[in-house]
Structure 1
Amino acid sequence: QIGADLADGSTMGMNLLIGDADGDRRQGEVCLGRQAPNYWLNPQSYLRLTFSGATEVSGTAGALPVLTRLDRRTYRLANLLNAQWGYTKGERTDTFSAGTRGDAKSGATFATGSTMRGGTTMAGFNCHPPYRDGLASGVVWRQYFLELPKIKPLALSFATAIRDHAPPAESASDGVDFRVLVGEPGEEGTELFARFSDSKEWQPAEVDLSDYAGQRIVLKLVAGPGPKGNTNCDSAYWGDPAIRVGRPPVPTKEEDWAERTAKAVRLARVAASGTKLIGAYPLKGRCGAFGAGVAMGRQGLVDGVIAFANHERAVAFRGFTIAIDGEEVGSVNSSVRCRDTDVEFTRGHLTILHELDTVNGMVVARARFSTEQGALRLAFDMPGARRSLRGTPRFSTLALGGADAELFRVYLGFGNVVEKPNAFRARASGFVLSTRHIGTDFANGMSLLQASDVYPSAAVCQPQTNTFSLQVPHDATFTFIPSADGAFAAARHYRDVNGFRPAKGHANLLGRMCLDQWGGDYGMAAKDLERAAKYGLNHSIFVKHSWQRWGYDYRLPDIYPPRGGLKSFLAMRDACRDGGILFAPHDNYIDFYPDADGYSYDHIIFNHDGSPQRAWFNKGRKAQSYRWLPHAFMPWLERNMRLLQRGAAPTGLFIDVFTAMPPIDYYDREGRFYTRNRTAREWAKSFDRSRSILGGDAPMLSEAGTDALIGSLDGAQSDHHSADRWGATGVADDRTPWHDMASHGSFVLLAGGLGSRYGNKDPKHTYGSDDYLTNTVMGGRNPMSDGPFSRRAVMTYWLLHDLCDDLARSSFDTHAFGKSVRQQHTTFGDGSRVWANRGEPAWDVAGHRLPEYGFYAKGPKAEAGIVEIDGQRAAFARTDDVL
């Protein structure tokens, strides 16, 4: 018995180790606390335990959760780990720990997570009542054992909603019965709230707990199927459930917002004239003369206003989200409060210091304004902060607030424009939010580009508050560029200030067509490469994906020698060399399989909860891989590159996933936290080191194509999805060359990426389709097709290569829409012009009729098009001596 002599409320440290020390190598051990050196003696490795009286009570629920004592602040229930969940039907009750998410036998779930309903995202719980094993009319619940302080008012606030259904496969839920019960230990509890609802938008609610001040209570959130016992589509959400002790913060009054907005706009217009004042920043660049103005609130930027203006137009943004360790400063249900602010003004730069009172003490959040080449910079950090092993305190979210002008068009990723958008959240990903910059055109004619140096977590669109903002963690610097000529003009300006520089293999990749192959016989591929060369597809790069020693994505990183034999593998290499085609085999340093040489959990990313992070599951082999620590794989990569260089001498390389995933935050086995900036640096090094070993400035490629590794990575297979694939809809939408405008000249985008991904498995929109080809040429991307030899590969090369080779070597200067987002016109520095019609009706322009997915492009040396001639669709390419 441990701690039998300790009193209620006392504390002690504890660590628990399971496993053998293995000669001090600690292989295979599981440690409850931190696995520090001499962990059995080192207090830093201990967990802190707070003891309370026994909580065992009679009744079907069994033992209660550990008692949680509350004080004068706000407590988010999703963050309180001393909880239980379970289900009840009649006399049957099963109880589970808060760390589990669901029960397969009953179908009941009660898991933490974030959900968007009606354009608003809330953190909280996703639950479903039991529906299997004869439990269909039962309820699911989550309970807490709390000691409330003798402070009033006390309130539980939350919102409820249910999930969408997918007709015709699913019928709608008839509603979910939400209830809140409060009682003493061992009692059923008193019902303080009840709502039977089928609403798919958040419905707020508040329960007064003041009568229980100073008492120990059991608080239970309950969700059930309602009186009919129908559990169909009854996934239910509890949004932002929190107990607030004491009075809530007073919201900013509308007249205060109006006053600050007027001040910020006035300062911005003064700055647009070139005058420098405190809080006024002249911004002069490609987009003309603008100004930025900053008006602080009582909580600094949290309730301040940032405005951008020229002499004719202005747009102002209310507030700036600053969240510390998941707690948003100044929000009603946040435990973080802004105690005071201070201002410094040196060398024309405004610095705002926010003194924040957090659960773990005082934190200073510093926001520093500056300008660079006509752009406004806003840098956040925490001066003097001593971050723990787990990386706290840290900024979990930084985001610009909503505008005072209506959203008209929004831009993000490889290139998607959504006109009059509905609410959506675009997650960071090489397939969705693949860039660190987004853009907005407002209905009043102003536009704004936002960018960050740290890779964002998401871009959030909430039209009801005119919000379209990056959500960025950590010590980050934002860049803001206003424009009155559209967001693309601001993106062109951004290219001048973003610091992107081409990697060493970039020049060798420019204009080359990508011939992509996954499976297939090596000998047949070699013959097809010879045929491709005879058809003139010489200025290409051949990417061979499936060749590894143990088959595709198995027993990684053990890839060499090639499966199927080195001799036949080299036949592909030789055919490429003879035809002037670059040879780039596939590699992977995301997935580490436990049966590979040298595997250890010391080389694996761990999750926040201390579990190893799973990566790819190879279904055919029934093998689970785990995710490499970004700073651990380099010795294996160097071994593999030397084997490849000596044995096959490839002239290029494709490393999977590194730009399909965004750079990620992670923990190691010891629980040490690393930011996504470390991930980006380590992944970037993999390409630099591989190129160095392979030699010859071998181009480096990856999957999808975030902009996070530009400068080390030469290009990527830009899997360019349509906006509706990730939930963005509006009055109109289409693909655009948004990524291209910021990265053209420093990073090669290979067409629309894998054809099946581009077309979402629709053969009418895959490789060689007019849709795919038109999207390729708009931003001057390199062509791509399945390969190494096919009719559509030859057609794609001869239609686009000469033109795209010229565009790749020229500056991408402007983008404009015609009568709709379907009609797009781009221009390049060498005088090249591209017109693309991505919808109906036909577009008569530049002497040609462009049908749906038609284009016409003309440069100094080449022209090409997909046009309508006498009612027939035709494609052509022309240079000075070839038609």
Structure 2
Amino acid sequence: MITGEAMRAWGFGFALCLAPAAWAFDPPVDAAGPLTVRIAGPSTLSEAAPAPYAVVIESKADSAISGRLRVAVIDGWTATLGSAAEFTVPARSTAKVDFTVTPPASAFAAHYPVHVFADFAYEGAQLTVHPVLIVETKFGAPARPRKPVEFKPFEAGPDSALALWRLAVYRAVIHSASREPQVMSPGWQGSEPESRANLVWNTRVERGDSREAIGMHPPYSPGRTGSLVVEIPLQLPSQPAKLTFAHAVRTPDPGGRGDGVTFRVRAVAWDAPATALGEVLFSRHSNSFVWEEGEADLSRFAGRAIRLQLESHPGPANNTNYDMSYWAEPVLITGTPPPAAPFPPASADSSALGSAGGFEVRLWRGARGLLDAPIGFRKNGRALYMKGFSVRVGGYQLEDPQSPIALKQVSDESDSQKRRVRHRFSHFDLMGELWVDEGGLKSRWWLENAPEPAPWEVTYIEDAAAGPWSGVARRVYASVGNVLEEPQAFRLSFDGHFLATSFVGL
């Protein structure tokens, strides 16, 4: 799989998407001879409980017609007609027979058929009418037991950069008029029904360019306007620190108009009351639809445990129209983080991996092992470089030095055949291997020393892909018959809907 992150580094982009299918079914009506039979009842069920239905039989015959009804369902569903299995419909009239259908609690969110068969004799012939009703179940996903998020300070390392929007430890506090501040549970996001305050944690937003962000709409119910505050608990190291970020607001609908949002950065002592608002370190009222950069100095809190507060307020006019606000990529910078290694590599200090397709393949040392190690393909004075690999575990990109999962140690465990590196993180070891074989560079990734699986909590490699490249791809062969010429940035995944193969050629 080639990710958009890798492709953007190549200077190309493309968006691959599929329009949702428009599902439609024939009406639950059928006819034979003089009878028309219809199934009446709900086409959508929201719970696994008996639901009322009816068979409506309309006759155009000049005399009464009698017959027998049958109902058929599948996958553990049940249907009951009782003693009403026999029916009689008077001449040129209509009859109705009631029954119930009960889906099992194990039913999926899917479409299920309810079959009705009406068997009868007419003018010496045996006839059957067979309408089918398609019932959609919308039971919702089963409740997943979630491990409670412990709200405690996250220890920020010295001389580092930390992506705060990727932390799992945060909480929201809603400050609205005519009501005591409401402290939400750690990890909460969504819409609070009374105040209508809304929080979206770690989304991606386009405001001039695409960035990861925290989406916040301050409360806007009548008489309950106010601020939405997100608190991030931090233990700061004993050195200067600052917060960098960008902010913007949503674009109004045609004819709509808002007056912007006041963005504030605050800090309060860790042990301050839960509803306390901290000292204002940054404040700006903005109605910008493109990112505006911001910065707040946290140095006076060095060595202390604090609750960093990001506040979105409707502003001096208390106008909440179009006040969905975005905090883009807030990063906590402590001390002096090490600079990123130059890419393509400027040093000649590299080791040979072998030869692939006539190209010499060489590996440079990376600060994060193989994750950011440059790999070069060189031939006749030409060179193409790849910057390591992109690996995601637990929702975190392990190659990112700003990741909340700290890389503790990198150790070389290579042998004469393969370059093998152990990347030791807090709760698991990421193993990576590189070797040249059959005319190509190959890699393998796996986990060791990972926690034992628990319900809904399994540590595994969610994605692994090539990192950014130093050149621009002019052509991408994305399965049979799919050739992309001069592509722009795009994400290409493989499954039954998108791509029938995992192979992509460049």
Q: 2:198 aligns with which of 80, 101, 109?
A: 109
Say whether 1:211 aligns with 2:300. Answer: yes
Return 5+ residue gaps in structure 1 as ranges: 1-26, 35-46, 51-65, 265-277, 439-448, 450-486, 488-883
Which structure has more strand as a fraction of its residues?
2
Please give the residue correspondences for 1:590-601 in structure 2 after superposition, counting only pairs within 5 Å: none
1:661-681, CA deviations, whole angstroms, 9 ceiling, x for partnerless residues? xxxxxxxxxxxxxxxxxxxxx
Whole-Å Cα distance in 2 between the matches of residues 201 and 411 of structure 1?
A: 35
CA 1:327 to 1:311, structure 2 compared with 1: closer, same or farther past 3 Å? closer
Secondary structure at 1:345's aligned position in 2?
Answer: coil
Q: For 2:384, what is the secondary structure of its paired residue?
A: strand
Percent sequence identity is: 24
Q: Give the alignment partner of residue 180 of structure 1, picking from 265, 276, 286.
A: 265
Name the amino acid aligned to 1:76: L
- 2:431 is matched with 366
1:379: which partner in 2?
A: 444
Q: 2:281 maps to which residue?
A: 192
TM-aligned CA distance change 1:48 to 1:312, over 3 Å: closer
Tell me which amino acid in the other structure corresponds to 1:133. Answer: P
CA positional deviation for 1:129: 2.4
- 1:318 is aligned to 2:403: no
Could you tell me which residue of structure 2 aligns to residue 830 of structure 1? none
Whole-Å Cα distance in 2 between the matches of residues 351 and 195 of structure 1? 50
Residue 351 (structure 1) aligned to one of 420, 443, 453: 420
1:211 counterpart SS class: helix
State the TM-score, normalized to the length of structure 2. 0.57
Q: Is the 8 A contact 1:139 1:224 kept in 2?
A: yes
AA partner of residue 375 (structure 2): I
Shift of 1:138: 3.3
Residues 249 and 233 of structure 1: CA distance in aligned 2, closer, same or farther (over 3 Å): same
Report the Cα offset of residue 404 of structure 1.
1.8
Preserved contact between residue 182 and residue 190 of structure 1 (Cα < 8 Å): yes
Code of the residue aligned with 1:176 in structure 2: it is V
**Quick check: 1:138 aligned with 2:226?**
yes
Choose from 442, 446, 466 the match for 1:400: 466
SS in 2 for 1:404: coil
* CA-CA distance at 1:368 after TM superposition: 1.2
The alpha-carbon distance between structure 1 residues 77 and 172, as it changes in their structure 2 partners (threshold 3 A), is: same
Specify the code of the residue in structure 1 equivalent to 2:355: P
CA contact (8 A) 2:494 2:502 kept: no
The structure carrying a bigger helix percent of its residues is 1
Q: Trace 1:431-830 onto structure 2 (pairs within 5 A).
A: 431-432=497-498, 435-438=501-504, 449=505, 487=506
| 1:67-82 alignment runs, 5 A limit | 68-73=152-157, 74=162, 76=164, 79-81=167-169
Is structure 2 residue 370 aligned with structure 1 residue 283? Answer: no
Structure 2 counterpart SS, 1:301: helix
Aligned residue type for 2:217: H
Answer yes or no: is the 8 Å Cα contact 2:344–2:470 preserved in 1: no
What letter corresponds to residue 344 of structure 1 in structure 2?
Answer: S
For 2:499 and 2:245, how far apart are their aligned partners in 1? 30
**How does 1:59-74 map onto structure 2 within 5 Å?**
68-73=152-157, 74=162
- Distance across 2 between alignment mates of 1:384 and 1:352: 15
CA contact (8 A) 1:299 1:341 kept: no
Match of 2:362 in 1: 293
Q: State the partner residue of 2:172.
A: 84
- How many residue pairs end up in the alignment? 355
Aligned residue number for residue 160 of structure 1: 247
Q: Give per-residue Cα distances to partners, 1:179-224, cap 9 Å, x unaligned.
A: 1122352543221112334555555544332322455544321113
Whole-angstrom distance in 1 between the partners of 2:483 and 2:317: 45
Contact 2:352 2:360 in 1 (8 A): no
For residue 419 of structure 1, report the CA deviation from its aligned partner.
5.3
State yes or no: 1:221 paired with 2:286.
no
Task: Give the Å deviation of 1:424.
Answer: 4.8
2:217 is the alignment partner of 1:128: yes
Gaps of 5+ in 2: 1-104, 107-141
Q: Deviations over 1:573-621 (max 9, x none)?
A: xxxxxxxxxxxxxxxxxxxxxxxxxxxxxxxxxxxxxxxxxxxxxxxxx
The alignment's TM-score, normalised by the length of structure 1, stands at 0.35
SS in 1 for 2:308: strand
Q: Distance in 2 between matches of 1:102 and 1:310?
A: 57
Q: 1:82 to 1:352 in 2, by over 3 A?
A: closer
1:132–1:206 Cα change, 3 Å: same
Inter-CA distance 103–434: structure 2 relative to 1 (3 Å threshold) = farther
Q: 3-state SS of the aligned residue for 2:345?
A: helix
Quote the Cα distance in structure 2 between the aligned partners of 1:131 and 1:322.
Answer: 40
Is the contact made by 1:330 and 1:337 (CA closer than 8 Å) also made in structure 2? no
Q: Describe the SS at the equivalent of 2:414.
A: strand
Q: Distance in 1 between matches of 2:414 and 2:301?
A: 46
* 8 Å CA contact retained: 1:413, 1:432: no
SS in 2 for 1:403: coil
Aligned partner of 1:399: which letter?
A: A
Deviations 1:515-561, CA, capped at 9 Å, x for gaps: xxxxxxxxxxxxxxxxxxxxxxxxxxxxxxxxxxxxxxxxxxxxxxx
Distance change >3 Å, CA 160–CA 328, structure 1 → 2: farther
Q: Which residue of 2 aligns with 1:339?
A: 409
For residues 322 and 480 of structure 2, the distance between their equivalents in structure 1, rounded to whole angstroms, comes to 35
Asked if 1 retains the 8 angstrom alpha-carbon contact of 2:390 and 2:464, the reply is yes
Separation in 2, partners of 1:201, 1:419: 31
Partners of 2:247 and 2:325 within 8 A in 1: yes
Q: Distance in 2 between matches of 1:134 and 1:414?
A: 60
Deviations 1:84-113 (A, max 9, x none): 332434777444334241124443201223
Larger Rg: 2
- Structure-2 change in CA distance of 1:157 and 1:101 (3 Å): same
Deviation at 1:306, TM superposition (A): 1.6
Specify whether residues 398 and 314 from structure 1 end up closer, same or farther in structure 2 by C-alpha distance, changes over 3 A only: same
In 2, distance between residues paired with 1:426 and 1:164?
A: 29
- In structure 1, what is the Cα distance between the partners aligned to 2:289 and 2:242? 24
**Partners of 2:319 and 2:481 in 1: how far apart?**
43
Tell me, in whole angstroms, the C-alpha distance in 2 between the residues paired with 1:148 and 1:401: 32
Distance in 2 (CA, whole Å) between partners of 1:426 and 1:194 is 41
For residue 282 of structure 1, give the secondary structure of its aligned residue in structure 2: strand
The 1:204/1:215 distance shift into structure 2, 3 A limit, reads same
1:86/1:419 Cα in 2 relative to 1: closer, same or farther (>3 Å)?
A: farther
Query: Which residue is 1:151 aligned to?
Result: 238
Q: Are the structure 2 counterparts of residues 364 and 96 from structure 1 closer, same or farther at C-alpha, using a change threshold of 3 Å?
A: closer
Deviation at 1:143, TM superposition (A): 2.7
Change (3 A) 1:202 1:388: farther
- 1:336: how far off? 1.2
Note closer, same or farther for the CA distance 1:202–1:436 as it changes in structure 2 (3 Å cut): farther
